[in-house]
Chains A and B, each alone.
Chain A
Amino acid sequence: MIFREVEDRDLIAKARRGEVEAYNLLVSRWEKRLFNYLLRLVSNREDAFDLCQDTFLKAYQNLPKLDDPARFSGWLFRIAHNEAFSLLRKRKPEVELAAEPRAPGSADRLLPIELSLAVESALKRLSEDQREAVLLKVYQGFKFEEMAEILECPVSTVKSRLYTALDLLKTALAPAAMARGES
């Protein structure tokens, strides 16, 4: 991660000097992580791809405004967060997915793919704020302080959203997770 930051900094410096290829390399490095974050957040592949594309373009246009190149990842995810929530606000309120409680016995001998689907379903049942907190922490590995910068809110709010989400996920996934543990 440290090497990656050092190399990112070098690429950012080159991109700022007008070396477009350096920026293209940055895109190649971050596109998969960013796409998956957006995909889990907006739950639509095409939207996630378009948002990903827009995020990289906006980041390129605003690269001179990036104060600290060492914080490129957080800065990039903040742009992505703003783009995603701009889209989510435009969308018509979706019908809440009905909770699909599993009967305790139905989770016996779950395959990894089934557990993965259960996780995906449980994530979709979280609120957007809660889901984003989980995505940034569990799947992207950001620290609380970095998340607070990305989401532009206090660390206490970040923790509150994340902890509530984890409690909900624990309840939703317990049967499936335990069934997997036993199998």
Chain B
Amino acid sequence: MNCSLLEAKPDWKAYALGELDAGARREAESHATTCAACCDELAAMRLTLDAMSTLRDEEIPRRIAFVSDKVFEPKWWRTLLNPTFAAACVVAAAILVHAFVARPSGEALQQAQIDAAVSKAVAAAEARQSAEMLAAYEMYDKQFKRMYISSNGIVRQ
């Protein structure tokens, strides 16, 4: 027995598998009420799918290893090759060098304080000498002018 619609008959596999839209489903169901061949085909399809539904899912034999499990942790040398980790190491090393090498020790600090005090004292002495020299120069200049005036009889008008 064949369907009278021949090539245009409903796609019963798509129907049984839930792939037809609502309109196509209604059309197919309407056709099935009058077509024995299509009714048989749909029944056979449903019987097959029912039989297939008896196949049950099996439990997984053991747990899938998670990506956070130890087995997936990278080796220590791989960690070193990680650019982020390597950059962090360089920064940490630079901080350590700065903290322990570039920082003045107790002796160095004391020496620096002495140097600063000496520099300050030297600067003060130089300033004092300059002032004394300037005062002496002014005094000699005044005396020279007085002597010059008195020896030449020049009187300032």
Show the binding face of A for B, using Cβ within 8 Å: 20-21, 23-24, 27, 31-33, 35-36, 39, 45, 49, 52-53, 56-57, 60, 112, 115-116, 118-120, 123, 134, 137-139, 143-144, 159, 162-163, 166, 169-170, 173-174, 176-178, 180-181
| Chain B residues positioned under 8 Å from A118 (CB to CB) | 51
Total residues of chain B contacting the partner, CB 8 A = 27
Q: Is the CB of A49 within 8 A of B61?
A: yes
Q: Is the CB of B66 within 8 A of A24?
A: yes
Binds A, one of B40-48, B106-114, B137-145: B40-48
Q: Is the CB of B67 within 8 A of A32?
A: no
Q: Is the CB of B67 within 8 A of A174?
A: no
A14: shortest Cβ distance to chain B, in Å? 13
Among B45, B56, B65, B66, find the residue whose CB has the most chain A CB atoms closer than 10 A. Answer: B66
- Tell me how many residue pairs across A and B have CB atoms closer than 8 Å: 85
- If A162-B13, A170-B48 touch, does A36 touch B57 (CB 8 Å cutoff)? yes
The answer for the CA separation of A45 and B58 in the assembled complex, in Å, is 10
- Is B59 in the interface zone, CB < 8 Å from A? yes
Q: Is the CB of B48 within 8 A of A177?
A: yes
- Is B154 in the interface zone, CB < 8 Å from A? no
| Chain B residues positioned under 8 Å from A120 (CB to CB) | 55
A131: shortest Cβ distance to chain B, in Å? 12
The answer for the CA separation of A112 and B67 in the assembled complex, in Å, is 39
Q: Is the CB of B45 within 8 A of A20?
A: no
Instruction: Determine the residue in chain A with the shortest Cβ distance to B68.
Output: A20
The answer for the CA separation of A163 and B105 in the assembled complex, in Å, is 86
Instruction: Determine the residue in chain A with the shortest Cβ distance to B55.
Output: A119
A-B contact pairs, 27 of them (CB 8 A): A20-B67, A21-B68, A31-B64, A32-B59, A35-B58, A45-B61, A49-B60, A52-B60, A53-B65, A60-B67, A112-B54, A120-B55, A123-B55, A137-B17, A138-B52, A139-B52, A143-B19, A166-B45, A166-B48, A170-B45, A170-B47, A173-B48, A174-B44, A174-B48, A177-B47, A177-B51, A181-B47
A74: shortest Cβ distance to chain B, in Å? 16
| Chain B residues positioned under 8 Å from A39 (CB to CB) | 58
The answer for the CA separation of A116 and B49 in the assembled complex, in Å, is 12
| Chain B residues positioned under 8 Å from A138 (CB to CB) | 17, 49, 52
Q: Is the CB of B58 within 8 A of A57?
A: no
Instruction: Determine the residue in chain B with the shortest Cβ distance to A119.
Output: B55
| Chain A residues positioned under 8 Å from B64 (CB to CB) | 27, 31, 52-53, 56
